[in-house]
Structure 1
Amino acid sequence: MAAGSLVIVFLGPPGAGKGTQAARLADDLDLVKISTGDILRSHVARGTELGRQVGPIMERGELVPDELIIAIIREELAGMPEVRAIFDGFPRTTPQAEALDALLAELGAPVDVAVLLEVPEDELVRRLLRRAELEGRADDNEETIKRRLQVYREQTQPLVDYYAARGVLKRVDGLGDPGRIYCRIREVV
């Protein structure tokens, strides 16, 4: 893979600001932002076969099966002449991280940095309820938010250890002004 490849993984619970910060960083560094949540919501909205499969899963606040997510990621990366990507909302489990590493190894572009946005849970709930109100996101009601945070703690939190063990984890305080948070991210990337 060309020296210009760059792979960044954004980690953190729902509502931590991954999407906002990943979009800004993607623009600044000329990276493709790959948001599995956005891709899946698009399929649900369009009523595709994938959307019909994953819609009920998402409504329950559960994770979409790994094989479906990996297939989506493989398709997204397939057309890139060099892998320059930010992953927002993926991987969410250690098996997904291992599958991503295997896929990236095939492409000669390992994960360069995993940014962990850290935000207290009470702030996450407040943010997600506000986002639901502003964006009309049906998958962000209080019951589903609490379920998503529980799923994050149980299934996604181990990724912190996974990326720390590989020496690529960078912890970033996700509280405060989005501009300041972005400056903190730029310091570690």
Structure 2
Amino acid sequence: MRLILLGPPGAGKGTQARLLTQKYGIPQLSTGDMLRAAVTHETEVGKRAKAVMDGGQLVSDDIVNQIVSDRIDEPDCTRGFILDGYPRTVPQAKALGQMLQQKGLRLDAVIELKVDEAALVRRMENRVAETVASGGQARSDDNPQAFHKRLVEYREKTAPLSEYYAGTGELKVVNGMADVDTVTAEIEKTLIPA
């Protein structure tokens, strides 16, 4: 099972990815984790990425695409994977499609969690309040201003992926505003044909 989860920050992608990885025994591939691992293990592409990051620049699509390609080739991805944070743009989605085709693979589904942005802000505020009340520390970007900025960036860069994947026939839309179990059940329904 090879999946992409789409949706704005706070939509519940991480929660659903964890549940799906447990059910299907496939890894959740986070772009950040893959990038850090490539740098730590000093792979060829990891060395290129480190040089770019050390220069204070953003890692190019070519480097990110290669890191994803290398990670997909690892043994734990034989049964599939869930991509988290990749692709972020339509050019990355096109590169992923070509990469998978070259490997003789295909996506089983791209699942978009549709949510109400105002409700997401309330969710974030509640999460911060609960974290603080339990003695924890909130994430530095869990505040209304930073969250709004992340939503704007999502709308501009990542939301066009919905239209792209709708055009390829791979997009499945699920109401992300329901409770966790209901969202999980809806995702399961979309995966039955896969």
TM-score, normalised by the number of residues in structure 2: 0.77
CA RMSD, 1 decimal: 3.0
1:67 to 57, 62, 66: 62
| Distance verdict in 2 for CA 1:15–1:179, change over 3 Å | same
Question: Which residue is 1:53 aligned to?
Answer: 53
Aligned length: 175
One of 163, 167, 173 as aligned partner of 1:161: 163
Closer/same/farther in 2, CA of residues 41 and 175 from structure 1, 3 Å limit? farther
Question: 1:136 is matched with which residue?
Answer: 138
Q: Deviations over 1:30-85 (max 9, x none)?
A: 21111224556889xxxx9749939x88xxxxx86423422331232122362501
**Does the CA-based 8 Å contact 2:121-2:147 persist in structure 1?**
yes
* Alpha carbons 2:27, 2:81 under 8 Å: kept: yes
- Output the CA distance in 2 between the equivalents of 1:183 and 1:94: 28
Unaligned 5+ segments in structure 2 are 39-45, 132-136
Relative to structure 1, the CA distance from residue 18 to residue 38 in structure 2 (aligned partners, 3 Å threshold; closer, same or farther) is: farther
Indicate yes or no: 2:13 matched with 1:18.
yes
> What is the percentage of aligned positions where both structures have the same residue?
39
Q: Which residue of 2 aligns with 1:85?
A: 81
Worse-matched range after superposition: 11-20 or 120-129: 120-129
Match of 2:23 among 18, 21, 28: 28
Q: Quote how far apart the aligned CAs of 1:136 are.
A: 3.0
Measure how far apart 1:140 and its partner are: 3.0
1:96 is matched with which residue: 81, 92, 95? 92
Closer, same or farther: CA 144–68 of 1 in aligned 2, 3 Å: farther
How far off is 1:126 after superposition?
Answer: 2.4
State the secondary structure of the residue aligned to 1:86.
strand
Letter in 1 for 2:110: A
Partner of 1:151: 153
Question: Aligned to 2:3, which of 8, 12, 34?
Answer: 8
Task: Please say which structure displays the higher CA radius of gyration.
Answer: 2
* TM-score of the two chains, using structure 1 as the length reference: 0.79
Deviations 1:106-133 (A, max 9, x none): 2111111000001100122223344456
